[in-house]
Amino acid sequence: MKLVWPLPALLTWLLAWGVFLGLHGAQAGGLLAFGVAMAVSALAASRGGTRWRRAFMGLGFPVSLLASGLVAATVPGWAWLLPLALLLALYPACTWRDAPLFPTPQQALQGLAQVAPLAPGARVVDAGCGLGAGLRELHAAYPQAELHGLEWSWPLALLCALRCRFARVRRADIWAVDWSGFDLVYLFQRPESMPRAMAKAGDELRPGAWLVSLEFEAVDFKPVVRLETVLGKPVWLYRAPFESR
């Protein structure tokens, strides 16, 4: 059952506070209680539907803890650097120009195999695979494909590899990896990244290979087809060599 906003945020805060107070009451130590509660809060917040909701859900516990006055007695000041360190691990500075962690919605790629058919064993890559939501949708669309995932953040790459054992996931810079060996490149980036993606794909993809972009159009090129199985999440398909508008 889908919870009405802001109930998910309230439940996330209550859960994090419950974990923190429970561990602290069990004399686990303020730092350990804080770290576990932050991890629980971040995990719950990852289920938020939008970037702002995820931020609101994830920041509620640490901000309320700071305002409560308990932090001075239970958590050393340097512990507040831990969320920053976690953020930098998840989003290294060199990736800030790329898309943040926006998972591919379920069924967003439904019908993809019908308009972009691939032979069994074709090599498909999710460039910026995050936690693997896109890889799962690609696996549903192309169950016989050889799936690859590229992710620069090592924590995300590790978790994605654990979640998507059907794919070959590795930590890599999507802009440094050669795309020429792939039959289909899947992206869920941002509008500012699309010119760079199209330039790279145009230079490296062999004729007949596909570039598939969720939500964001390459406005200077004509798509072969546009799908939209999830409202507000169109899928744009381009086939090399690309045709300019």
Domain end residue (candidates: 57, 90, 123): 90
The domain total for the chain is 2
- Tell me: pLDDT of 84 over 90: no
Q: What is the pLDDT of residue 132?
A: 92
Neighbour count for residue 158 (Cβ, 10 Å): 13
User: Average of pLDDT values for 78-88?
Assistant: 55
Q: Is the dihedral of CA 112, 141, 154, 81 positive or negative?
A: positive
Amino acid present at 205: L
- The reply to whether 116 and 77 lie within a common domain is no
Percentage with pLDDT > 90 across the chain: 50
Output 179 or 131, whichever has higher pLDDT.
179
Whether the ω angle into residue 241 lies within 30 degrees of 0, i.e. cis, is yes
Among the listed residues 111, 105, 108, 137, the one whose alpha carbon sits nearest the alpha carbon of residue 124: 137
pTM above 0.85, yes or no: no
Length in residues, the chain: 245
Distance between CA atoms of residues 137 and 113, nearest Å: 11
Q: State how far the alpha carbon of 79 is from the alpha carbons of 17, 25, 49, in Å.
A: 17, 19, 28
Residue 161 lies in a domain: yes
Shared domain check, 116 and 74: no
**Distance between CA atoms of residues 146 and 139, nearest Å:** 9
Is 204 among the domain residues?
Answer: yes
pLDDT at 74 over 80: no
What does pLDDT average to over the chain? 84
pLDDT for the residue 59? 78
Residue 77, domain extent:
7-90
Q: Specify whether 56 is located in the same domain as 175.
A: no
The pLDDT > 70 percentage for the chain reads 82
Is residue 210 in a domain?
A: yes
Q: Is residue 33 part of a domain?
A: yes
Q: Please give the single-letter amino acid code of residue 135.
A: L
Give a yes or no: residue 2 inside a domain. no
Q: Note whether 130 and 156 are within 8 A (CB).
A: yes
* Residue 124 and residue 217 share a domain: yes
Q: What confidence score (pLDDT) does residue 20 get?
A: 85
Full DSSP string of 103-123: PPPTTTTTTHHHHS---TT-E
Domain CATH for 175: 3.40.50.150
Question: Residue 14 domain-assigned?
Answer: yes
pLDDT tens per residue across span 98-140: 445 578 999 999 999 999 999 999 999 999 998 899 999 999 9
**Is 67 in the same domain as 164?**
no
- Judge whether 189 and 173 are in contact, CB under 8 Å: no
116 and 84 within one domain: no
Give the C-alpha distances (Å, rounded to integers) separating 39 from 59, 117, 137, 150, 179: 12, 41, 27, 24, 35
d(CA 188, CA 71): 39
> Exposed (0-12), middle (13-18) or buried (19+): which is 34, by Cβ within 10 Å?
buried
pLDDT of residue 201: 97
Q: Is residue 96 part of a domain?
A: no
Give residue-wise pLDDT tens across range 137-174: 999 999 999 999 999 888 888 889 999 999 999 999 99
Same domain, 84 and 151: no
118 shares its domain with 206: yes
